[in-house]
Amino acid sequence: MDFIDIIPTSGIALDAAGGVVTNGLELARKGLHVVALDISWVALRLAKQRFEAQCFYLDAAVYDLAHPWLPLNYFDVILNFHFLERATFTIYRCALKPCGLIFFQTFVKHPENLENPDYYLEPGELQSAFRGFEILYYGQNRIEKDGGLSRKMTEQIVARKPKSPTGDHL
Q: What is the CATH number of the domain that holds 93?
A: 3.40.50.150
Residue 116 lies in a domain: yes
Strand order in the sheet with 134-145: 58-62, 33-38, 12-16, 75-81, 96-108, 150-160, 134-145
In a domain, 170, yes or no: no
* Higher-confidence position of 168 and 135: 135
Q: Side chain identity at 124, as an amino acid letter?
A: G
Enter the pTM of the model.
0.89
Provide the percentage of residues in the chain whose pLDDT is more than 90. Answer: 74
Residue-range definition of the domain harbouring residue 63: 16-160
Note whether residue 7 is domain-resident: no
Query: For the segment 55-67, what is each residue's pLDDT rounded down to a tens digit?
Result: 999 999 999 999 9
Asked if residue 82 belongs to a domain, the reply is: yes
- Written in H, E and C, the secondary structure of 20-83 is CCHHHHHHHHHCCEEEEEECCHHHHHHHHHHHHHCCCCEEEEECCCCCCCCCCCCEEEEEEECC
Within a domain: residue 38? Answer: yes
Domains of the chain: total: 1
